[in-house]
Amino acid sequence: MNQPPMEHWEARVQQMADGFPYPPTPDVAGTVRQRLRGTPVRPVLLRRQLAWAVAIALVILAGLMAVPQVRAAVFEILRIGAIRIVPTTPTPTAPALTPTGARPAATPSPSPTPLSSVLDLAGETTLADARARVSFPIRQPAYPSDLGPPDHVFLQDLGGQVIVLVWMDRAQPDHVRMSLHELGPGTFADKIQPPVVQETTVNGQRAVWTEGPHLLQFSRNGQVIYDTRRLVEGHTLVWTQGDITYRLETDLSLNDAVRIAESLSQ
């Protein structure tokens, strides 16, 4: 009796397989055991060596951070937008020697007296005039609710356009309540030696809070702009939005300063 086509095909395949010379199965397990016997196991030794390397690196780093110049260089990278936080006063570079070995006569450098108040700034104008002249929107805080429009507005060219809005204390008309710097593209400033520096956030973005007296020093093309160097005694909050850097100066707490920053009009 003839087999069905499918069964006939399966029988034919089985017959061909029986006659096919299949290679012997390699001794994989034996080969692996032989290699393991010839290779020393080092995971514990490697972990110990790594731990020693990390410990040595930490000791070296701690030693470097103990050197004031190194520590200053590390912290100098703290920068928010156009403002850099400088922990120490920059050291002047010594004059180069002349071919005869004598140092050239030193050129006297100006010794400006820091401005003691934001009201001493130059370039006072009106809010309407400032809005017509700057290339970016001038934003005002909506908090505190009784703040109202600024009492003084300053427009300055510090490598880029800078707007300074100042609010006076109604209970003390000669006392500044708070001021807000809005630094446009092209500006650069150093906050030199603030006693307290703390990182925080404004609208979820990185910001810096400083407390205590320090110098605010602007530069243009690497040269200090002396007539804008000002002694700051209050607390300051620095943050950015887009390419504009904001700097709020106030006697309020950090939490209140952040509320003011986050209330700026769009």
- Structure token pair of residue 211: 């407390």
pLDDT of residue 91: 47
At 186, the amino acid letter reads G
Residue 215 lies in a domain: yes
Residue 206 lies in a domain: yes
**DSSP-H helix ranges across the chain:** 5-18, 28-38, 43-65, 68-75, 127-133, 254-262
pLDDT in tens, the chain (266 residues): 555 555 555 666 566 656 655 556 666 666 656 665 665 545 666 667 676 776 676 666 556 545 544 444 444 568 899 999 887 654 444 444 444 444 444 444 444 455 557 888 889 999 999 999 999 999 999 999 999 999 999 999 988 999 999 999 989 988 999 999 999 999 999 988 899 999 999 999 999 999 998 888 888 887 888 666 677 888 999 999 999 999 999 999 999 999 999 999 76
Sign of CA dihedral 219, 225, 226, 230: negative
pLDDT of residue 31: 66
185 near 160, Cβ under 8 Å?
yes
At 248, the amino acid letter reads L
Residue 67 lies in a domain: no
Residue 231 lies in a domain: yes
The residue range of the domain holding 186 is 118-262
Residue 112 lies in a domain: no
pLDDT of residue 121: 86
Taking the CA atoms of residue 121, residue 127, residue 133 and residue 137 in that order, the dihedral angle to the nearest 10 degrees is 110
pLDDT of residue 160: 94
Residue 25 lies in a domain: no
pLDDT of residue 106: 42
Residue 84 bridge partners (DSSP): 79, 190
Residue 142 lies in a domain: yes
Residue 164 lies in a domain: yes
Question: Is the full-model pTM beyond 0.75?
Answer: no
- 3-state helix/strand/coil string of 74-135: HHCCCEECCEEEECCCCCCCCCCCCCCCCCCCCCCCCCCCCECCHHHCCCEECHHHHHHHCC
Count of the separate structural domains present in the chain? 1
